[in-house]
Chains A and B, each alone.
Chain A
Amino acid sequence: MRSRFSWSPGLVLILVLLTGCATQTKALLSAPHAALQRQVELKNTPFIAQERYQCGPAALAMLLRAAGFAVDADALVPQVYLPQRQGSLQVEMLAAARRNGALSMTIPPRLDALLTELAAGNPVLVLQNLSLPIKPMWHYAVAIGYDLDRGDIILRSGLTERMVMPMSTFEHTWGRSGFWGMVTLPPGRLPATAVEAAAVDAVVAFEKSSPPAAARQTYAIAVRRWPDNLALELGLGNTAYAAGDRAAAAQEFQRASELHPDSGAAFNNLAVALLELGQLEDARAAAEKALALGGPWRKAALDTLASIEIAEKSRRP
């Protein structure tokens, strides 16, 4: 017998939603990465219950404290909260973490990346839409663990210190933000899932708002992971230079100029460091090479060469 059932728009919508199932969860639970531990819970992550609309500052404070930074959620409110929007923007979460001394970086937008960071000991701050796209309810929480056998994600969320959420529900709510998650790390450490291009952007942004010594530590570890990257090698030299260590800076610029013989910036910076070390002959050779390479750093090379000439004149009797 045919039913007299009519398709109401609401039911159609529900059915449409149902067909979009939690594919990443299914894949992970049926064939998890061999390298992943079955269960992880970062129990030492502190819990800070949020005030109304202030899940952003509370979640960021938990994340920063777990990374070893003594910050207060109240102090973060003026740094990330937008009164008119009654919430906090993703970009400002990343920027505020840097203001407080941490390297901040988004993770690749995948569930396995999230679990990999947790297994590496890094809690992940996630943006979820707990509701549906038509009536969004944006919420920041801190993922602190998972259980592959039970299929759960463990979160510090809102007023709940230990929220256990089915991984599929988590995937639905997290997926609505485009799987946006961030980690914060102290100087000298990088996220487990960091990819080269994103890491360069994150570390350069970190350099801009940190003491040179802190950024130098992070560059050192990044150069070890991606030894062929020009920006990272120059960053290591530049932060050594900014920290007053001319000899180490010259060494890094030397290495950069050998690995990237077409980089005028590497030769110019090498010339500057050598000039300040009083090695005028080598400085001149490097500056002339920078000038010959021309390109965007021609003007910088000309200025460096002029400074070397002044130094040479003052040295002659």
Chain B
Amino acid sequence: MIHPLKKLFVHTTITAFVFVGFTQSVQAAIVSTEQVVTAAAAEQNRAKVAATFERADVQAELQKMGVSTDEARARVAAMSDAEAASVANKIDSLPAGGDGIVGAIVFIFVLLLVTDILGLTKVFPFTRSMHR
């Protein structure tokens, strides 16, 4: 013979579990602005998968370029999907602003000197363009 209190306890517990499970699976939720911007549903799923891979690629590439794991993760997180896609697999070749100009041979040195004076470039701090 089951104790009536025990029976009540079991019943309420089961009801609670079912109810909690139920509400969790059908929780009403806002559609995010980002989802709205990415149009069709099928396209969206495909884009989401691609974006996840691209983000992982970018993070790995940043780490290869000397960025710490945590910082690489935070840097990728701040990019939009489109931004991450635009740099994935291209970090080697994209312009990186940093003033570096390496191993300029004499011909190029002279050429750049001339183009500086012509006002086409501004490599050397001492040159003045003849446009002045």
Q: Which of A81, A169, A201, A303 has the largest count of B CB atoms less than 10 A from its CB?
A: A169
Q: Are A303 and B37 in contact (CB under 8 A)?
A: no
- B101 CB to closest chain A CB (Å) equals 4
Contacts of B107 in A (CB 8 A): 10
Known: A88-B97, A169-B119, A234-B33. A308 touches B40 (CB 8 A): no
Q: Are A306 and B26 in contact (CB under 8 A)?
A: yes
- B131 CB to closest chain A CB (Å) equals 4
- B89 CB to closest chain A CB (Å) equals 13
Q: Which of B40, B91, B96, B119 has the largest count of A CB atoms less than 10 A from its CB?
A: B96
Q: Are B28 and A308 in contact (CB under 8 A)?
A: yes
- Decide yes or no whether A211 CB sits under 8 A from chain B: no
Q: How far is the CA of A101 from the CA of B78 in the complex (A)?
A: 11
Contacts of B1 in A (CB 8 A): none
Q: Which residues of A in the span 285-306 have a Cβ within 8 Å of any Cβ on B?
A: 295-297, 300, 302-304, 306
Residue of B nearest to A235 (CB): B33
* Contact string against A for B residues 19-42, beta-carbon threshold 8 Å, 1 for contact and 0 otherwise: 000110011111111111101110
The interface-forming segment of A111-119, A134-142, A186-194 is A134-142
Q: Are A140 and B97 in contact (CB under 8 A)?
A: yes
Q: Are B99 and A303 in contact (CB under 8 A)?
A: no
- Decide yes or no whether A89 CB sits under 8 A from chain B: yes
Q: Which of B28, B37, B94 contacts A200 (CB 8 A)?
A: B37
Residue of A nearest to B80 (CB): A205
Q: Are A53 and B99 in contact (CB under 8 A)?
A: yes
Q: Which residues of A in the span 1-34 have a Cβ within 8 Å of any Cβ on B?
A: 10, 13-14, 17-18
Q: Which of B98, B104, B114, B121 has the largest count of A CB atoms less than 10 A from its CB?
A: B98
Q: Which of B33, B101, B125 contacts A131 (CB 8 A)?
A: B101
Q: How far is the CA of A175 from the CA of B23 in the complex (A)?
A: 57
Q: How many residues of B contact A (CB 8 A)?
A: 63
Q: Are B131 and A82 in contact (CB under 8 A)?
A: no
Q: Are A269 and B27 in contact (CB under 8 A)?
A: no
Contacts of B119 in A (CB 8 A): 166, 168-169, 172
Contacts of B26 in A (CB 8 A): 302-303, 306-307, 310
- B62 CB to closest chain A CB (Å) equals 7
- Decide yes or no whether A238 CB sits under 8 A from chain B: yes
- A279 CB to closest chain B CB (Å) equals 13
Contacts of A135 in B (CB 8 A): 101, 104, 108, 112
Q: How far is the CA of A237 from the CA of B119 in the complex (A)?
A: 51
- A155 CB to closest chain B CB (Å) equals 10
- B9 CB to closest chain A CB (Å) equals 22
Contacts of B74 in A (CB 8 A): 79, 99
Q: Are B121 and A130 in contact (CB under 8 A)?
A: yes
Q: Are B111 and A137 in contact (CB under 8 A)?
A: no
Q: Which residues of B in the span 75-132 have a Cβ within 8 Å of any Cβ on A?
A: 75, 77-80, 82-84, 86-87, 91-92, 94-101, 104, 107-108, 111-112, 114-115, 118-123, 125, 129, 131-132
Q: Which of B34, B67, B80 has the largest count of A CB atoms less than 10 A from its CB?
A: B80
Given A14-B118, A272-B29, list of 16 further CB < 8 A pairs?
A14-B115, A17-B115, A50-B99, A55-B97, A56-B97, A86-B96, A87-B97, A131-B123, A135-B101, A160-B125, A204-B37, A208-B34, A296-B41, A307-B23, A307-B27, A308-B28
Closest 7 CB pairs of A and B: A87-B98, A87-B96, A83-B66, A296-B41, A307-B28, A95-B78, A306-B26
